[in-house]
Amino acid sequence: MVNNIKMLKPTPIDSLEMEKIEKIIPDIIVKTHKKNIICTLNNTNNYEVLIDEKYLNDIKIKQKHQNIQETKNYIKNCIAHGKMLQNNLNRRNNTLLLISEKILNYQKKFFFNGEEDLLPLTNREISEIILMNESTVSRAVKNKYIKFNNKVLPLKYFLRSRTSYKDKNINNSSISIKAKIQKIIADEEKNNIFYSDNNIVNILNEENILISRRTVTKYRESLNIANSLIRSKNKY
């Protein structure tokens, strides 16, 4: 018994892998002012290249006494690399802010009305607006986040593919259609009716949104909403 106890680990959970929780720091802060949105870079997430002036002065003083050309060249190269790195960081931040402003202003209605007014928008369309390569836009938005009303969202959330629609002047993203489906079902109790997927198709068609029953079913299931038969049984 004693020998068995000695073989036990005093801290048995040390071998268990703890799940790492990564804190997401937003890159862009979004605020609304009257009918406009304001985008700013999150300074806490920005990097700045600083030169240690004290260390630099010490090297310069030694260099004066020793007059070594190699040291002089070393100082010049370090300063040049530091400035180049800072310029690259500034260019990166300016590009991110420019792309973010274009994307978020395009989706301005979202910040006032919610998901239903989220429009379809692609990397290619943004690249054509700001006259940059599509790959540049794709890299810029990758793993970037915005903060709005204490909610953090990936910047790619605002880039959505298009779905079919009857009226070419009306834009509908998959997420806005999901929001419409969710609202239709949420209004069932008020209207005293349980809408089948075919009913939802007809309602959306009246709003000039051309969508198949299969797509409605897929979107409804992705929202974890049961079909009309189950919803009616749960009600009664």
Confidence at residue 169, expressed as pLDDT on a 0 to 100 scale = 40
The per-residue pLDDT for 40 is 94
**Residue 105: per-residue pLDDT:** 92
- Distance set, CA 71 to CA 57, 112, 136 (Å): 13, 59, 39
Sort residue 72 into left (φ over 0), alpha (ψ -120 to 50) or beta: alpha
Instruction: Give 193's contacts (C-beta < 8 A, 6+ positions apart).
Output: none
Looking at residue 38, what is its pLDDT? 93
pLDDT, one tens digit for every residue, the chain (236 residues): 656 666 666 666 655 555 566 788 899 999 999 889 999 999 887 777 787 788 777 777 776 666 667 777 877 888 888 889 989 999 999 999 999 999 999 999 899 988 777 888 888 888 988 888 999 999 999 999 999 998 999 999 998 776 544 444 455 677 788 888 999 999 887 878 889 999 998 888 888 787 888 889 999 999 999 998 888 887 65
The answer to whether residues 64 and 190 touch, using CB atoms and an 8 Å cutoff, is no
Q: Are strands 145-148 and 36-41 parallel, antiparallel or unpaired?
A: unpaired
195-230 per-position pLDDT tens digit: 999 999 888 888 878 788 888 999 999 999 999 888
CATH 1.10.10 fits 174-230, yes or no: yes
The residues near 144 (Cβ < 8 Å, ≥ 6 apart) are 27, 28, 96, 100, 154, 155, 156
**Cα(14)–Cα(30) distance, integer angstroms:** 42
Residue 101: C-alpha distances to residues 32, 90, 116, 229 (Å): 13, 16, 20, 45
C-alpha–C-alpha distance, residues 108 and 229, integer Å: 38
Tens digit of each residue's pLDDT (9 = 90 or more) over 119-132: 888 888 889 888 88
d(CA 185, CA 193): 9
Structure tokens at 184: 């239709």
Q: What is the reported pLDDT for 113?
A: 86
Predicted pLDDT at 168: 41
Determine contact, residues 203/184, Cβ cutoff 8 Å: yes
Q: Break the chain into its structural domains and give their ranges.
A: 28-158, 174-230
User: How do residues 60-70 score in pLDDT, each as one tens digit?
Assistant: 777 666 666 77
Share of the chain above pLDDT 90, in %: 28
For residues 63 and 76, is the Cβ–Cβ distance under 8 A?
no
- For residues 156 and 103, give the distance between their C-alpha atoms in angstroms, rounded to a whole number: 9
The whole-number pLDDT of residue 13 equals: 60
Half-sphere exposure of 33 (CA within 13 A, CB side): 5
pLDDT at 165: 45
Q: Please give the Cα distance from 67 to 177 (Å, whole number).
A: 72
Residue 164: per-residue pLDDT: 46
- HSE-CB for 66 with a 13 A CA cutoff: 11
Query: What predicted TM-score, i.e. pTM, was given to this entire model?
Result: 0.61
Name the residue with tokens 């090297």: 59
What pLDDT score was predicted for residue 65?
65
Structure-token pair, residue 183: 């609202």
